[in-house]
């Protein structure tokens, strides 16, 4: 029988599996570090190297490292990081969770869209800082207003991306589900939500980024702990080294949390057949 | 014959909202275990017939029976193959086939049936692959296995092999026939490929006009399996070429892109 003769048509492994020369592999491994190391070198040269800038404006890397070590030894740094991480984690889970529920509903139902979407789009356009005084008035200066602000920041990217992902589901796949007798709920579970997963993950990544943004907005204005507080503390005591410790930590934490989501994305979206960029 | 028909359409007309009629008073009977082909130029309403029979399109005039029952939406007893494989890209080959299983089936029985079907379409090696790793022919075989997973009694095929290369198409046609030999499924196939129609079907119905109707039905009086080079196919082929040419010229606005335009160059 002739059937099966086209089995040879299985697509070959991706070109990335090619063996590269050692030096090319090394370049690829090192590539992400080129810019940070270069910046660090430039920073060192501008301060300790040639003293181009006064230390109170731009302290040297060594001074910043010393400050970080002192803060760490005193337990202060851990307290600030823990406070911020906790706020981001709670706020992100809350905001993304509500966004997934509302986004699914609005994505599926044009009625829900008519009811909810105009209002949500209006709220989305309120700048983050505009919420702060009001939330403080309402919720005091405890954790609640900060977590709420982070949740607002996480909500909208997740919501917007999920709705658009659901709406872009391939009509032909929905039809397929109908032919195979799926119920409305079955269509959502087996077709629409998996199809919207790439958009959802994009939304989650942007939402997590926004969470950190909104966190600092909240902590800058009213807090006694957290990285935003550390920044304000540095400002009040004219300590640029403390500010830089805060800024660097925000960069590292933001990158780390995004990396975790990217890992999740790679595992959940192995099935996508995108361009993926050239080597 | 009507009472025993697997598919029965009586004076079926269809128009899309705000448009002209696509089908006008079309009648067609397909006996159990028969393979019938609807042949016609693009845009002649062939697919509409299948969409009505599958229950994907509901609004129509006239009587439409499958297995003696009026069509009231998609049912498991009617399988539908589309022009594209329409695999769920996030599911492996195995899970795509399992998508077609009746929901009442137990897990173990389902898994067994999926394995049987994968053997049938010769894809056991590819069971854990994702659709993005499959060739066009393999993907269409997965779609066929998924269709069969629901154990349908009628199979509707909407130009299922038109998107693959000529050699793969022949393999798929042979696979379809070997499945038919085992299952004796009733099949209604839509195509614009004359050779496909002659190789597979008991009867070929030529769709023509706008709104479309069946202008003539040609019986293919040859036993299966058929030899594609059989000289007896020659006159039948010529006849269908002529019929399609008329169909293409029937409405000049479609002649340019329909097979009518192509065949004029023969």
Residue-wise DSSP of B96-114: HHHTTS-TTS-HHHHHHHH
Q: Where do runs of H (alpha helix) occur along chain A?
A: 22-44, 61-73, 76-108, 110-124, 128-139, 143-167, 171-179, 184-187, 193-221, 227-236, 240-268
- Which residues in chain A have their CB less than 8 angstroms from residue B182's CB? none
- Please, are residues A16 and A279 in contact by the beta-carbon 8 Å criterion? yes
- Which residues in chain B have their CB less than 8 angstroms from residue A5's CB? 167, 171
- Please, are residues A103 and A159 in contact by the beta-carbon 8 Å criterion? yes
Does position B189 have pLDDT exceeding 90, yes or no?
Answer: yes
H or E stretch at B144: helix B136-149
User: How many beta carbons lie within 10 A of that of residue B249, not counting itself?
Assistant: 16
How confident is the model over B172-184, as pLDDT tens digits? 999 999 999 989 9
Q: What is the pLDDT of residue B263?
A: 39
The model's confidence at residue B259, banded by pLDDT at 50, 70 and 90, is very low
Instruction: Say if B133 is an interface residue toward chain A (CB within 8 Å).
Output: yes
Query: B45: buried, middle or exposed (CB in 10 Å: 19+, 13-18, 0-12)?
Result: buried
Does position B266 have pLDDT exceeding 50, yes or no?
Answer: no
Give the whole-angstrom CA distance, residue B144 versus residue B246. Answer: 33
Instruction: Say if B82 is an interface residue toward chain A (CB within 8 Å).
Output: yes
pLDDT (tens digit, 0 to 9) for every residue of chain A, 279 residues total? 444 444 444 554 555 556 778 888 888 889 999 999 999 999 999 999 898 988 888 999 999 999 999 999 989 999 999 999 999 999 999 999 999 999 999 999 999 999 999 999 999 999 888 888 888 888 888 899 999 999 999 999 999 999 999 999 999 999 999 999 899 899 999 999 999 999 999 999 999 999 999 999 889 887 889 999 999 999 999 999 999 999 999 999 999 999 999 999 999 999 998 888 887
Which residue of chain A comes nearest to B143, CA vs CA? Answer: A176
Cα angle, residue B134 at apex, residues B133 and B139 outer, rounded to 5°:
145
Q: What is the pLDDT of residue B258?
A: 40
- Please, are residues A204 and A165 in contact by the beta-carbon 8 Å criterion? no
Closest CA to B160 of B28, B146, B151: B146
Closest CA to B100 of B140, B159, B144: B144
What is the CA B184 to chain-centroid distance, rounded? 15
Between β-strands B186-191 and B154-158, what pairing exists: parallel, antiparallel or unpaired? parallel
- Which residues in chain B have their CB less than 8 angstroms from residue A168's CB? none
Closest CA to B53 of B153, B156, B160, B204: B156
- Which residues in chain A have their CB less than 8 angstroms from residue B74's CB? 178-181
Q: What is the pLDDT of residue B249?
A: 62
pLDDT (mean) for B183-202: 94
Would you call B86 and A173 a contact, using CB atoms and an 8 Å cutoff?
yes
Q: What is the pLDDT of residue B17?
A: 83
- Domains, chain B: 1-77+156-161+187-213+220-256 (3.40.50.300)
How confident is the model over B56-96, as pLDDT tens digits? 988 899 999 999 999 998 988 899 999 999 999 999 999 99
Instruction: Say if B134 is an interface residue toward chain A (CB within 8 Å).
Output: yes
How confident is the model over B152-164, as pLDDT tens digits? 999 999 999 988 9
Query: B179: buried, middle or exposed (CB in 10 Å: 19+, 13-18, 0-12)?
Result: buried
The answer for residues whose C-beta is within 8 angstroms of residue A223's C-beta and 6 or more apart is A83, A141, A146, A229, A232
Torsion, Cα of A83, A87, A90, A91 (10° steps): 180
Which residue of chain A comes nearest to B175, CA vs CA? Answer: A3
Which residue of chain A comes nearest to B95, CA vs CA? Answer: A190
Alpha-carbon distance values, A123 to A131, A153, A155 (Å) = 10, 11, 11
Would you call A180 and B129 a contact, using CB atoms and an 8 Å cutoff?
no
User: How many beta carbons lie within 10 A of that of residue B237, not counting itself?
Assistant: 13
The model's confidence at residue B253, banded by pLDDT at 50, 70 and 90, is very low
- The token pair at A278 is 């050239």
Would you call B75 and A181 a contact, using CB atoms and an 8 Å cutoff?
yes
pLDDT (mean) for B110-139: 95
Q: What is the pLDDT of residue B211?
A: 82
Would you call A10 and B80 a contact, using CB atoms and an 8 Å cutoff?
no
- The token pair at B110 is 């389902």
Instruction: Say if B151 is an interface residue toward chain A (CB within 8 Å).
Output: no
Closest CA to B80 of B7, B14, B27, B13: B7
- Which residues in chain A have their CB less than 8 angstroms from residue B136's CB? 9
Would you call B138 and A180 a contact, using CB atoms and an 8 Å cutoff?
no
Does position B251 have pLDDT exceeding 80, yes or no?
Answer: no
With an 8 Å Cβ cutoff, the interface of chain A facing chain B consists of 1-7, 9-11, 172-173, 175-176, 178-181, 190-191, 194-195, 197, 270-273
- Please, are residues A224 and A76 in contact by the beta-carbon 8 Å criterion? no
Which candidate from B56, B99, B174 shows the least CB-CB separation from A175? B56
- The token pair at A131 is 């919420």
Which one of A3, A14, A193, A269 would you mutate to disrupt binding with B, by most B Cβ within 10 Å of its Cβ?
Answer: A3
Which candidate from B76, B84, B135 shows the least CB-CB separation from A9? B135
Instruction: Say if B137 is an interface residue toward chain A (CB within 8 Å).
Output: yes
**3-class secondary structure per residue, A247-275:** HHHHHHHHHHHHHHHHHHHHHHCCCCCCC
């Amino acid at each position: 029988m002739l059937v099966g003769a086209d089995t040879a048509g299985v697509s070959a492994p991706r070109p990335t599996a090619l063996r590269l020369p050692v030096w090319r592999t090394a370049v690829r491994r090192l590539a992400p570090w080129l810019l940070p190391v270069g910046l660090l070198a430039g920073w060192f040269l501008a301060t300790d190297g040639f003293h181009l800038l006064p230390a109170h404006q731009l302290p040297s890397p060594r001074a910043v490292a010393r400050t970080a070590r002192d803060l760490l030894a005193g337990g202060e740094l851990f307290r600030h990081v823990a406070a911020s991480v906790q706020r981001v984690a709670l706020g992100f889970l809350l905001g993304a969770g509500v966004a997934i529920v509302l986004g699914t509903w609005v994505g599926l139902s044009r009625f829900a869209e008519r009811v909810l979407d105009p209002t949500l789009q209006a709220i989305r356009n309120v700048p983050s800082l505009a919420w702060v005084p009001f939330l403080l008035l309402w919720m005091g200066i405890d954790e609640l207003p900060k977590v709420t602000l982070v949740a607002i920041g996480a909500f909208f990217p997740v919501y917007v991306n999920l709705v658009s992902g659901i709406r872009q589901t391939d009509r032909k796949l929905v039809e397929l589900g109908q032919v195979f007798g799926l119920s409305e709920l079955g269509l959502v579970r087996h077709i629409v939500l998996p199809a919207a997963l790439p958009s959802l993950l994009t939304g989650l990544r942007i939402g997590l980024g926004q969470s950190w943004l909104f966190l600092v907005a909240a902590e800058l204005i009213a807090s006694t702990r957290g990285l935003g507080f550390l920044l304000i503390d540095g400002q009040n005591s004219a300590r640029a080294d403390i500010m830089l410790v805060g800024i660097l930590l925000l960069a590292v934490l933001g990158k780390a949390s995004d990396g975790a989501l990217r890992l999740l994305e790679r595992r959940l979206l192995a099935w996508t057949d995108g361009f993926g960029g050239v080597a | 014959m009507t009472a025993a028909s697997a598919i029965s359409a009586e004076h079926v007309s269809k128009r899309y909202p705000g448009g002209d009629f696509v089908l006008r008073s079309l009648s067609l009977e397909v006996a159990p275990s028969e393979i019938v082909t609807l042949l016609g130029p693009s845009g002649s309403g062939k697919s509409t017939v299948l969409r009505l029979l599958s229950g994907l399109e509901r609004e129509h005039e006239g009587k439409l029976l499958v297995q003696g029952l009026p069509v009231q939406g998609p049912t498991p007893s009617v399988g539908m193959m589309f022009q594209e494989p329409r695999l769920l890209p996030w599911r492996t080959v195995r899970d795509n086939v399992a998508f077609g299983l009746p929901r009442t089936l137990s897990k173990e029985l389902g898994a067994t049936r999926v394995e049987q079907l994968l053997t049938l379409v010769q894809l056991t090696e590819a069971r854990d692959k994702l659709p993005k790793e499959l060739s066009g022919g393999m993907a269409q075989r997965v779609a066929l296995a998924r269709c069969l997973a629901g154990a349908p009694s009628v199979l509707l095929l909407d130009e299922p092999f038109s998107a693959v290369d000529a050699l793969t198409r022949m393999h798929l046609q042979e696979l379809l026939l070997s499945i038919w030999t085992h299952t004796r499924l009733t099949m209604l196939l839509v195509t614009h490929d004359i050779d496909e129609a002659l190789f597979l079907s008991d009867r070929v119905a030529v769709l023509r006009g706008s709104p479309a109707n069946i202008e003539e039905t040609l019986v293919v009086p040859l036993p299966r399996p058929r030899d594609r080079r059989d000289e007896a196919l020659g006159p039948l082929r010529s006849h269908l070429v002529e019929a399609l040419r008329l169909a293409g010229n029937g409405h000049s606005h479609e002649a340019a892109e329909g097979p009518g335009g192509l065949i004029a160059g023969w």
